[in-house]
Structure 1
Amino acid sequence: MAEFLPIFKRDMAARGWEECDFICVTGDAYVDHPSFGVAIISRLLESLGYRVGVIPQPNWKNLTDITRLGKPRYGFFVTSGNIDSMVAHYTVAKRKRSDDEYTAGGKAGRRPDRAVIVYAKLIKEAYPDVPVIIGGLEASLRRFAHYDYWDDAVRPSILVDAGADLISYGMGEHQTEEIARRLSAGEDISEMRDIRGTCYLCRQFELPQDAVSCASFDKVASDKTAYARACKTQIDEQDHISGKAVIQKHGEVYLVQNRPSLPLTTSELDRIYALDYARTYHPEYEKLGGVPGIQEVEFSIAHNRGCFGACNFCSIAFHQGRYVTTRSEESVLEEAKLLTRLPGFKGYIHDIGGPTANFRQPSCKKQEKAGLCKGKKCLAPAPCPALEVDHTEYLELLRKVRELPKVKKVFIRSGIRYDYVIRDKDDRFLEELVEHHVSGQLKVAPEHCSARVLDMMGKPHISAYEEFQEKFYRATKRAGKEQYLVPYLMSSHPGSTLKDAVQLALFLKKNNIHPEQVQDFYPTPGTVSTCMFYTGLDPNTMKPVYVPRTSEEKMMQRVLLQYFKPQNRPHVIRALKAAGREDLIGKGPGCLVSAPYDPNAKYKAQAQEKPGQRENRNPKGRQTSRTGGKDAGRGKGGGRGGKDTGKQRGRRG
């Protein structure tokens, strides 16, 4: 495997370097694996002949760490790491997390809040004249003025806050290569205003002529209707074929987003994944217990990029884009062979996937010339008539990988679009998925069952999940296996009322699904759903959207989806009463929870009796009906037998 890039001066000295050409700064621990963005960018620069250093998780309280490799010859590339630093630090309830899987030992606290801003400012303090390019998910999704859940306010573009020179948004290989080439040729970074996939700041007289404008930072910060309209403009222009440059005023300067970068071709993707990675974490972390984030991806392969599913709560459409590109079969097979030679390989490839595992082609041929349709989705609420469904190439790829020597099993864990699977007239993919690629449980994402909520999510209606569920369990039965679907579910998404949550709880009961975990909607920057959460408007229609906002309602929606847990019973009862569904409290077969025990129940019943009923009592005053006995209404656990099995299981076939 490759030698790690320098992270200390002594590493540079060992290579005979006096300075680096470029330095990459990241909020993650240094993991040299293609699942980590900083690894791709640093190895790409190295492959172009540049001397590259990496500063992982620098101490942000002084300049010591940020300057430990010295001043680079050309510039810094800065990222918060694989995820937004605020998401890494805080739960949806805004409580501080105690763990961080992208840090050595898994302990939180090694990166600052809003890491990109903090790192960029530190660099500019140390080296005011050195170019700083910010990128990765945190910078990419915050490139425009954006609602910030943790501040509960609209913040300006991260480029304004960070004081950096450029944003490289989306997948950054093309931008990085061009920026590096032009900097090394002596061009000033202030002149680089024509690079696709970048954002810069300028004065009004410097604005490009063919750009579309969205409402200013001041306007979107004070007017939610303007915010929603700006969101629609920004989403509409994210296509690499039809998208135009977008401008947004920030005080006396203007943010300019150039047109999106062209997606990498198959040969370019192959080249990226063939770079010389060490494929593990830096040995500096061994004494701290390693970096947990490597465990899920160490023996996994990414075969595609982009997702035309474009769920409203997902950032992929705004970051990677909706256009699907793939690696060649030969490239994937070569990586699979490499995995079999790695220390610790036990015969299992954990995933051959991506944003959506079973996409190996664009959704239709029209996209190659006209781009993806604005304001429409390929799969929701129903599949587009132009949708082309074909699993042939993906299926052949899976077959060839599982036939490799030393490979015992190939799993698919990154998720499939079941609504795409059921549109395939050929069931071979589903049959082989069940036979060879499920490790007992298959994770899928119906998210909800209410049509209204699913429309707000940009997801297909629940009938698609029910059709897939039936097909999956029939195929599982034919294969003689015991396998289950594990549905991802989301509570409190914009559009979801308590009645919708009750509807979902009843769906789960009907299908014998006990979700072990439920995800509250988390409003992260750059998504349509976050726009709905902040504005109360659907940016696509400008119609009002109901938004659950109070912690009380969010709690009630969440516990309804885990109504079967004994500890949730009093909260579920409160939620059902608030939803006007007290008919679901009791011992009947359709009830979600039993009624709370009332020691005065028999006296209340006697007080409500009609004349003549008392004569029917026995001498001791006890009702002869079993429904009125002393245990009537006593809670003996919630839901299914009052016991949480600890497993998330779907209905057996």
Structure 2
Amino acid sequence: MNSDFLPINRFEMEKLGWDRPDFVVVTGATYVDHPSFGTAIISRILENMGFKVAILALPDWKSLDSFKEFGKPRFAFLINGGNMDSMVSNYTASKKPRKTDVYAPGNVPGLRPDRASIVYSAAIKQVYKKVPIILGGIEASLRRMAHYDYWSNKVRRSIILDSKADLVIYGMGERQILEIGKRFKEGMSIKQMKDIPGTLYRTHSKPEFNAIYLPTFKEIIDSKKKFAESFKIQHTNTDPFNGSPLVEGYPGEWVVQNIPSKPLLEEELDWVHELPYKRDYHPSYKSRGGIKAIEEVKFSLISNRGCYGGCSFCALTFHQGRIVRSRSHESIIKEAIEITKQPDFKGYIHDVGGPTANFTKRACFKQESRGACPTKQCLAPEPCKLLEVDHSDYLKLLRELRSLDGVKKVFIRSGIRFDYLMLDKDETFFKELVEHHISGQLKVAPEHISDNVLRLMGKPGNRVFSNFSKRYKEINEELGKDQYLVPYFISSHPGSTLKDAIELAEYLRDTGLRSDQVQDFIPTPGTLSTAMYYSGYDPVTMKPVKSEMSPHEKAMQRALLQYKKPQNRELVREALILCKREDLIGRGEKCLIPLASKGSKKKFRR
């Protein structure tokens, strides 16, 4: 097995004595050989199977010669758009080009095309017409069926049709790539791989097996209600234990989604993370400014995957699934010891967690044999009575890591679900979190405080966050610490109005919390919130939901969440006047902003 980086150009490939690779992985990001990056995981798995794998990172999509770098691979091109959807990577919520790209050398933007998976696939089809193309990664996974695309403001077809790929891997792809590699070794063609869980394919023959037929593409572009109904079906079929095959019809062809792949077992997850990663970016990037994306993960430990939090705006349900799996303590400790040996390690483990750090095992016993409930959430609007609340195993792991030689501090920077934390009657973890695992501030994500908005977000009512904030402050005082909460909020989420934003601004005023972390809602593929935004319906209840689409009102909602910033005052003033809340303008202690300066002739849009 190769103990170095995998080849990223012909020169490096020939140094290994290869005439051509078995697989070429084409990615819309740089090559970072770390288990936080899907390209590294898939490539190392194939390498472990005995395959020769080359990586074509951020190819120049304007030149077909870029895709000839390694010649024709023996088996297939594997394409992903990068660690993020390429449109999210390239554009802000206001659809403006991003000024930096942390996945590119020196943070230089513009090296990745829009809709990278489609563009790369089209280029390869021109150069190597008959070589199989398999898409994977977050971009392909979330665009696997017809989906609303915020940047073009229309419903787009399944990515397998627009890319003309032979197969799409959706979700976490380890099981799928192991099966694909095995079948290629056995001499099978890509056409003999249409039954693999966690994949989808296209066909010109109407499937005859037992499956759920979604509304056709024509139906969902003709009816937004049909779009919501289609998404509801998809949303309730993301579990490998109770999900069904799905079929989506197009003129003259069908897209077939096989049932989801089962999550990895503990020993399998250990194996994936113990492959010979270099835990750094390819050295060729150093002279170009390095890769900033490595900074947060190089000295971090991934302890789990999957999330049963059920946030409407998050695509984890659609991609990783709701069944949580964790690695063994032995595997994590082994990796931590390797981290401490790195020459630039300063004694600080930056994170121990996953999508949600304190979700370390199944939500309830039923998930082991029946999977996650298709129509019920574990935590919201109220916690399920079967939910198993226990931080003891995670706490044991953190204590083991704290005791390692060379480790000064172990931080938790991935998300903590404060509602789950508050359900634990044993406060030992809460107290040790505050005492040992915070660097002056704890980042949490209440997202909003309006109970109506929180309900649509799939979050608990504001009472839970208020109780958590109070107890967090009390524990800090008991320990003699002066640490703060840094709350994350989302502005302009479907269902959120200016009045809701004003309510949140008043809450911030009264509690003294600062909202430095505010994210404008971005309708990304694969989320319930995006289906609400586009269709005007909540797919869970099929009740109407109003979404604010005006850029100006979105700007007002965001400004209200950061009303203390002088540059936001005029937008805040406009919002308050529109909502007849002039009582919040002036010098009173309850006022959000001061009176307008004399001579101001600002006219507001009505």
TM-score normalised by length of structure 1: 0.91
Once residues 309 and 542 of structure 1 are traced to their aligned partners in structure 2, the CA distance between those partners, rounded to angstroms, is: 21
User: Which position in structure 2 is the counterpart of 1:444?
Assistant: 444
Deviation of 1:401 after TM superposition, in Å, equals: 0.5
User: Which position in structure 2 is the counterpart of 1:648?
Assistant: none
User: Which position in structure 2 is the counterpart of 1:284?
Assistant: 284
User: Which position in structure 1 is the counterpart of 2:265?
Assistant: 265
Kept after mapping to 1: 8 A contact 2:100/2:109: yes
User: Which position in structure 1 is the counterpart of 2:161?
Assistant: 160
Kept after mapping to 1: 8 A contact 2:487/2:514: no
Deviation of 1:498 after TM superposition, in Å, equals: 0.6
Once residues 228 and 357 of structure 2 are traced to their aligned partners in structure 1, the CA distance between those partners, rounded to angstroms, is: 31
Once residues 260 and 145 of structure 2 are traced to their aligned partners in structure 1, the CA distance between those partners, rounded to angstroms, is: 14
Once residues 105 and 98 of structure 2 are traced to their aligned partners in structure 1, the CA distance between those partners, rounded to angstroms, is: 15
Deviation of 1:375 after TM superposition, in Å, equals: 2.0
Q: Map 1:400-479; keep pairs closer than 5 Å.
A: 400-479=400-479
Deviation of 1:385 after TM superposition, in Å, equals: 1.1
User: Which position in structure 2 is the counterpart of 1:118?
Assistant: 119
Once residues 136 and 450 of structure 1 are traced to their aligned partners in structure 2, the CA distance between those partners, rounded to angstroms, is: 34
Q: Quick one: percent identity of the two aligned structures?
A: 52
Which letter maps to 1:160? L
Write the deviation string for residues 172-206 of structure 1: whole angstroms up to 9, x where unpaired.
Answer: 0000011111122211111211100000011234x
User: Which position in structure 1 is the counterpart of 2:40?
Assistant: 39
Deviation of 1:546 after TM superposition, in Å, equals: 1.4
Deviation of 1:216 after TM superposition, in Å, equals: 1.1
Once residues 39 and 504 of structure 1 are traced to their aligned partners in structure 2, the CA distance between those partners, rounded to angstroms, is: 42
User: Which position in structure 1 is the counterpart of 2:199?
Assistant: 198
Deviation of 1:63 after TM superposition, in Å, equals: 1.5
Deviation of 1:98 after TM superposition, in Å, equals: 1.6
Once residues 336 and 204 of structure 1 are traced to their aligned partners in structure 2, the CA distance between those partners, rounded to angstroms, is: 51
Deviation of 1:82 after TM superposition, in Å, equals: 0.3
Write the deviation string for residues 461-486 of structure 1: whole angstroms up to 9, x where unpaired.
Answer: 11111111111111111111111111
Kept after mapping to 1: 8 A contact 2:248/2:254: yes
SS at match of 1:475: helix
- Of the structure 1 ranges 479-488 and 590-599, higher mean CA displacement relative to structure 2 is found in 590-599
Deviation of 1:588 after TM superposition, in Å, equals: 1.8
Kept after mapping to 1: 8 A contact 2:487/2:517: no
Kept after mapping to 1: 8 A contact 2:150/2:524: yes
Kept after mapping to 2: 8 A contact 1:40/1:272: yes
Note if 1:213 corresponds to 2:213.
Answer: yes
TM-score normalised by length of structure 2: 0.98
Assess, with a 3 A threshold, how the Cα gap between structure 1 residues 599 and 288 changes in structure 2: closer, same or farther: closer
Write the deviation string for residues 485-528 of structure 1: whole angstroms up to 9, x where unpaired.
Answer: 11000110000011000000000001112222311100001100
SS at match of 2:538: coil
Once residues 403 and 216 of structure 1 are traced to their aligned partners in structure 2, the CA distance between those partners, rounded to angstroms, is: 57
Kept after mapping to 1: 8 A contact 2:486/2:517: no
Deviation of 1:597 after TM superposition, in Å, equals: 3.4
Which letter maps to 1:539? P
Which letter maps to 1:40? I
User: Which position in structure 1 is the counterpart of 2:307?
Assistant: 307
Deviation of 1:208 after TM superposition, in Å, equals: 4.5
Once residues 393 and 233 of structure 1 are traced to their aligned partners in structure 2, the CA distance between those partners, rounded to angstroms, is: 35
Q: Map 1:553-568; keep pairs closer than 5 Å.
A: 553-568=553-568
- Of the structure 1 ranges 520-529 and 216-225, higher mean CA displacement relative to structure 2 is found in 216-225
Once residues 73 and 79 of structure 2 are traced to their aligned partners in structure 1, the CA distance between those partners, rounded to angstroms, is: 13
Write the deviation string for residues 597-626 of structure 1: whole angstroms up to 9, x where unpaired.
Answer: 3469xxxxxxxxxxxxxxxxxxxxxxxxxx
- Of the structure 1 ranges 151-160 and 368-377, higher mean CA displacement relative to structure 2 is found in 368-377
Write the deviation string for residues 328-386 of structure 1: whole angstroms up to 9, x where unpaired.
Answer: 01010001001001121000000001000001111111111121112221111111111
Note if 1:185 corresponds to 2:179.
Answer: no
Once residues 599 and 249 of structure 1 are traced to their aligned partners in structure 2, the CA distance between those partners, rounded to angstroms, is: 62
Q: Number of residue pairs matched?
A: 600
Kept after mapping to 2: 8 A contact 1:83/1:138: yes
Kept after mapping to 2: 8 A contact 1:166/1:200: yes
Assess, with a 3 A threshold, how the Cα gap between structure 1 residues 93 and 599 changes in structure 2: closer, same or farther: closer
Once residues 432 and 139 of structure 2 are traced to their aligned partners in structure 1, the CA distance between those partners, rounded to angstroms, is: 38
Once residues 61 and 83 of structure 1 are traced to their aligned partners in structure 2, the CA distance between those partners, rounded to angstroms, is: 21
Deviation of 1:15 after TM superposition, in Å, equals: 1.1
Write the deviation string for residues 615-650 of structure 1: whole angstroms up to 9, x where unpaired.
Answer: xxxxxxxxxxxxxxxxxxxxxxxxxxxxxxxxxxxx
Kept after mapping to 2: 8 A contact 1:74/1:184: no
Note if 1:25 corresponds to 2:26.
Answer: yes
User: Which position in structure 2 is the counterpart of 1:58?
Assistant: 59
Which letter maps to 1:367? Q
Kept after mapping to 1: 8 A contact 2:486/2:516: no
Which letter maps to 1:246? L
Q: Map 1:238-277; keep pairs closer than 5 Å.
A: 238-277=238-277
Once residues 585 and 560 of structure 1 are traced to their aligned partners in structure 2, the CA distance between those partners, rounded to angstroms, is: 13
Which letter maps to 1:477? E
User: Which position in structure 2 is the counterpart of 1:640?
Assistant: none
Note if 1:176 corresponds to 2:177.
Answer: yes
Once residues 278 and 514 of structure 2 are traced to their aligned partners in structure 1, the CA distance between those partners, rounded to angstroms, is: 41
User: Which position in structure 1 is the counterpart of 2:77?
Assistant: 76
Kept after mapping to 1: 8 A contact 2:240/2:371: yes
User: Which position in structure 2 is the counterpart of 1:504?
Assistant: 504
Once residues 80 and 597 of structure 1 are traced to their aligned partners in structure 2, the CA distance between those partners, rounded to angstroms, is: 50
Kept after mapping to 1: 8 A contact 2:204/2:254: yes
User: Which position in structure 2 is the counterpart of 1:94?
Assistant: 95
Once residues 364 and 133 of structure 1 are traced to their aligned partners in structure 2, the CA distance between those partners, rounded to angstroms, is: 35
Once residues 283 and 164 of structure 2 are traced to their aligned partners in structure 1, the CA distance between those partners, rounded to angstroms, is: 33
Which letter maps to 1:29? T
Write the deviation string for residues 191-239 of structure 1: whole angstroms up to 9, x where unpaired.
Answer: 211100000011234x142210111112111210000000000000000
Q: Map 1:584-599; keep pairs closer than 5 Å.
A: 584-598=584-598
Assess, with a 3 A threshold, how the Cα gap between structure 1 residues 599 and 552 changes in structure 2: closer, same or farther: closer
Once residues 495 and 343 of structure 2 are traced to their aligned partners in structure 1, the CA distance between those partners, rounded to angstroms, is: 49
Once residues 181 and 424 of structure 1 are traced to their aligned partners in structure 2, the CA distance between those partners, rounded to angstroms, is: 45
Once residues 541 and 431 of structure 2 are traced to their aligned partners in structure 1, the CA distance between those partners, rounded to angstroms, is: 40
Once residues 20 and 596 of structure 1 are traced to their aligned partners in structure 2, the CA distance between those partners, rounded to angstroms, is: 67
Which letter maps to 2:195? D
The structure having more radius of gyration, on CA atoms, is 1
Q: Map 1:368-379; keep pairs closer than 5 Å.
A: 368-379=368-379
- Of the structure 1 ranges 451-460 and 589-598, higher mean CA displacement relative to structure 2 is found in 589-598
Once residues 85 and 478 of structure 2 are traced to their aligned partners in structure 1, the CA distance between those partners, rounded to angstroms, is: 44
Q: Is there any run of 5+ residues in structure 2 with no aligned partner, and where?
A: 601-606
Once residues 100 and 484 of structure 1 are traced to their aligned partners in structure 2, the CA distance between those partners, rounded to angstroms, is: 30
Kept after mapping to 1: 8 A contact 2:485/2:513: no
User: Which position in structure 1 is the counterpart of 2:358?
Assistant: 358
Once residues 332 and 468 of structure 2 are traced to their aligned partners in structure 1, the CA distance between those partners, rounded to angstroms, is: 28
Which letter maps to 2:591? C
Q: Is there any run of 5+ residues in structure 1 with no aligned partner, and where?
A: 601-653
Once residues 232 and 256 of structure 1 are traced to their aligned partners in structure 2, the CA distance between those partners, rounded to angstroms, is: 17
Kept after mapping to 1: 8 A contact 2:22/2:51: yes
User: Which position in structure 2 is the counterpart of 1:615?
Assistant: none
Write the deviation string for residues 569-594 of structure 1: whole angstroms up to 9, x where unpaired.
Answer: 12111000111211211222222112
SS at match of 1:443: strand
Kept after mapping to 2: 8 A contact 1:441/1:483: yes
User: Which position in structure 2 is the counterpart of 1:603?
Assistant: none
- Of the structure 1 ranges 147-156 and 555-564, higher mean CA displacement relative to structure 2 is found in 555-564
User: Which position in structure 1 is the counterpart of 2:493?
Assistant: 493
User: Which position in structure 1 is the counterpart of 2:604?
Assistant: none
Deviation of 1:270 after TM superposition, in Å, equals: 0.2
